[in-house]
Each structure stands twice: as C-alpha cells, then as structure tokens.
C-alpha cells in the first residue's frame, strides 16, 4: 500500500503555494515597514518551556502537544505556538541587553494534536509579532495597527477589532473577588469546566461558550469595572490612538485571556463571513510572561494568526491577485546541434535574470509552440537547422504573430533589452 501523509497535515502544491507566497510576502513587507525584524526559533523545544510559557491548565498543554522523549531521555515538544519560544530567545540570547523595545516577528509551522474532523490541521502555520521591553499604550496601538494594516493591504473587508483590558495582578484580584461573590449562589448551574475554573481561574468563566454559563454570567462584573487608575488610563490611551489611526474597534468586556501573565490589553480581529463574525487574529499584552519563564521582569505584547485561517478568509472574499505569466520567452530548438546552441543561449539569458524555458521532452515544433502559449510566454525563440546555418534566431511575438530575425551573435543582447523594456 502507498504511504500517506499523516492525518491533519497537507501538501501545499503549485497552484496553491503561490497564494501562500503572496500572503507571506505581504506579511514581510508590512513588518519591514513597521520596523519589525524576523526571528527563527527551533521547531522543537524543552517541554517545560510550553508548560510554563503556555500554561499547565490550557487545553494546548493538557491535550494537544506533540511531546516525545529524545534519545537522551529529554522531554521535547514540537512547538504548539510561537510566543514562548520568542520569550525564551529574548532571555537566552540576552536581547534585553539591546536597545529596547525589541520588535520581532515569526512565521512558520506549529503543531497541535487536534481532532481532524474539526477542520483544523495538526501541522498549521502561524504568523505573529512580539514587542518586548516597552509598557507604553502606544506599543499596544502600534501592534494592533500593524495587523489592521496587513488585512487592509490584503484587501479584506468587514473587519473589526474587539478589545478589552484584563487589568493587572492588582486590580484583577479585586475583580476575582467580585466575580466569585456574584457567582457564589449559582455555581452549581455552571458547566463542569467552569465549576473547576471557579476556584482556580474564574475570569475564564466569562469566556465560556456554553450557553448555560453565558446566561449565568449575564450582568456579571467585568474586568473593566475594577480597573485600577493605571490600567484604566492605559486602556483609554490605546482606544484614543486607535480612533486617531482609523481602526474600527469595539470594546468587548467579555473578551478575556485567562492566564495570570496576561495583562491589560487583550484583542481579537474579527472578519465578517456569510453573516457571522469570526476571529482571524488574537493577541494582547503579557507583562508577566518573560519572568514566568525565568527572565528579568519585562513587559511584552503580541499577536498570532493562523495563515490557513487568513487564506480561507481571502478565498471567501476572492482577494488574490492574478498569477503573473511565468516565462518571458520559450526557446524552441529543432535538431541536436540547435539544441546545444539554444541551451547555451537560454542559460546566458537566465543568468541575466530573463525567465526563459526550453522543451525537455523532445517534442515537435507545433507542440513546443503550444507549450510556449500555455506558459504565457511573450516570445518564441526559434532555432532550426536552417537558422543555425545562417547564424540567425527567429523571434516570434506570440501576441501579434509578428516574426523577425536576429543575428545569433546579437540574440542575447536583443532579448535581454526587450525584457528590460518590458516588451
Ligand atoms: Zn490594574
Ligand atoms: Zn462553562
């Protein structure tokens, strides 16, 4: 039996991969324009990094990690997300010693053991940015503007940023108390997960998708109700900067990120698809994370998006540029000697950056001309035995059908100039 690729993975074939390249190139351009530099971290890390950096209580760490013992009996895990690795590198490579803030982006495959029927992939791809070493609200606004701008450049419509502030450890303690008091008499109506969350992490109850839990928490105190002065002015400043930048946003007090190291701004970018809104990017501030994984106390903020998700949104909205024609010219050589001469000409032109192709299957003139049209070539460069004898090359314009002769000694220069002029 033929071997198949693992469940939840995909082969990205020519025809599709161009869409990925377009997305990745747009991402790189936006990041450069905003002064973000790329970081590439290992695909696998010590398991402990994700236990501490993503959180022992999360579904990712509890159920979804690809964890294995290597031959030295060390527990390793294929990275399920990017932020923990970037923070580890910030500490290990002493990026805190450079001028701050450090503005980084990453893009690459991530691994989670998801149920395949949910339409998710076990190897999927994420792009994200992280800004480390700056706690000012203008940083939060810049990060949100970057993702907003990316989606604008891609041409996505129906976008809205949802954001909230989850406060800091100080004001969150007050919120926790108020929320527990609010829920104390109705605790038994919550789902099993939320009953566990009640003691450990009640904030996450606000985020539960269970309709019962949503009904129970209606009117519950939100983190916005208990923000301390510092957190409140930070949040208001972020909102006013976003307004000034023309970002469409909505404050959503139920948007929470449940781990202790998440602080202040939390956000999602929503896109409208067939009547419903869904998130295509999530992010927020994590002023406690670098310390959590053993580094110096360092403020941080970032976001991540699944590229499969963004491509799906682009497909729904039909937003891909036309794939450009690949070849400028097709060299058509007939006969063994002409093939040698033509091969040399083709290589000289390729060396000058002119995309030229040549038949690799020993086909007839007619079939080669057909192939030239199929490849979208502007010119056919025809070299038969007769042309070789007269030391000329036939230059056929495939759009007009017009045909000229060029001396073989000048052929490379003439075609190169035509390509430069875009003719
Ligand atoms: Zn606070
Ligand atoms: Zn629940």
> From first to last of its 423 residues, what are the pLDDT tens digits of the chain?
899 999 999 999 998 999 999 999 999 999 999 999 999 999 999 999 999 999 888 889 989 999 999 999 999 999 999 999 999 999 999 999 999 999 999 999 999 998 877 678 999 999 999 999 999 999 999 999 999 999 999 999 999 999 999 999 999 999 999 999 999 999 999 999 899 889 888 888 998 889 999 999 999 999 999 999 999 999 999 999 999 999 999 999 999 886 778 899 999 999 988 677 899 999 999 999 999 999 999 999 999 999 999 999 999 998 888 776 679 999 999 999 999 999 999 999 999 999 999 999 999 999 999 999 998 999 999 999 999 999 999 999 999 999 999 999 999 999 999 999 976
Give me ligand 1 centre to Cα 230, in Å: 6
Which positions ≥6 away from 45 have C-beta within 8 Å? 76, 77, 79, 84, 85, 88
Describe the strand order of the beta sheet including 37-38 as a list of residue ranges: 37-38, 102-111, 123-132, 300-306, 276-285, 263-273, 159-165, 249-251
Q: Which ligand is nearest to the CA of 183?
A: 2
Give me ligand 2 centre to Cα 362, in Å: 67
Q: Which ligand is nearest to the CA of 187?
A: 2
Of 354, 385, 352, 356, nearest to 372 (Cα)?
A: 356
Contact 377, 327 (CB under 8 A): yes
For residue 40, give both structure tokens.
């590439």
Give me ligand 2 centre to Cα 83, in Å: 27
pTM, to two decimals: 0.91
Q: How far is CA 244 from CA 231, 239, 311, in A?
A: 20, 9, 29
For residue 155, give both structure tokens.
């041409």
Q: Which ligand is nearest to the CA of 205?
A: 2
Q: Which ligand is nearest to the CA of 175?
A: 1
């Amino acid at each position: 039996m033929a071997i198949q690729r693992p469940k939840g993975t995909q082969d990205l074939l020519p025809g599709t991969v161009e869409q990925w390249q377009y997305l990745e190139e747009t991402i790189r351009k936006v990041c450069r324009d905003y002064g973000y530099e790329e970081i590439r971290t290992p695909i696998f890390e010590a398991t402990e990094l994700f236990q501490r950096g993503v959180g022992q209580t999360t579904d990712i760490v509890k159920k979804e990690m690809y964890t294995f013992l290597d031959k030295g009996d060390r527990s390793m895990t294929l990275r399920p997300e990017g932020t923990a690795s970037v923070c580890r590198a910030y500490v290990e490579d002493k990026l805190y010693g450079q001028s701050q803030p450090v503005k980084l982006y990453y893009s690459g495959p991530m691994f989670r053991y998801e149920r395949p029927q949910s339409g998710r992939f076990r190897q999927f791809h994420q792009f994200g940015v992280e800004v480390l070493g700056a706690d000012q609200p203008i940083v939060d606004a810049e990060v949100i503007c970057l993702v907003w701008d990316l989606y604008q450049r891609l041409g996505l419509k129906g976008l809205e940023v949802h954001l909230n502030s989850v406060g800091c450890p100080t004001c969150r303690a007050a919120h926790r108390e108020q929320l527990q008091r609010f829920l104390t008499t109705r605790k038994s109506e919550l789902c099993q997960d939320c009953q566990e969350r009640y003691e450990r992490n009640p904030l996450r109850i606000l985020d539960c998708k269970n309709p019962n839990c949503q009904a129970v928490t209606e009117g519950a105190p939100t983190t916005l109700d208990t923000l301390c002065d510092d957190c409140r002015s930070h949040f208001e400043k972020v909102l006013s900067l976003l307004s000034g930048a023309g970002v469409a946003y909505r404050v959503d007090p139920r948007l929470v990120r449940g781990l202790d190291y998440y602080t202040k701004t939390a956000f999602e970018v929503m896109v409208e698809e067939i009547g419903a809104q869904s998130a295509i990017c999530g992010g927020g501030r994590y002023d406690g994370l670098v310390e959590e994984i053993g580094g110096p106390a360092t403020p941080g903020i970032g976001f991540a998006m699944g590229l499969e998700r963004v491509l799906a949104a682009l497909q729904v909205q039909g937003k891909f540029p036309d794939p450009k024609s690949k070849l400028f010219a097709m060299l058509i050589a007939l006969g063994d000697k002409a093939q040698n001469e033509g091969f040399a000409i083709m290589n000289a032109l390729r060396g000058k950056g002119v995309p030229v192709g040549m038949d690799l299957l020993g086909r007839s003139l007619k079939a080669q001309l057909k192939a030239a049209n199929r490849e979208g070539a502007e010119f056919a460069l025809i070299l038969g035995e007769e042309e070789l004898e007269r030391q000329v090359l036939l230059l056929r314009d495939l759009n007009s059908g017009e045909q000229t002769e060029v001396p073989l000694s000048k052929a490379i220069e003439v075609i190169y100039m035509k390509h430069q002029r875009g003719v």
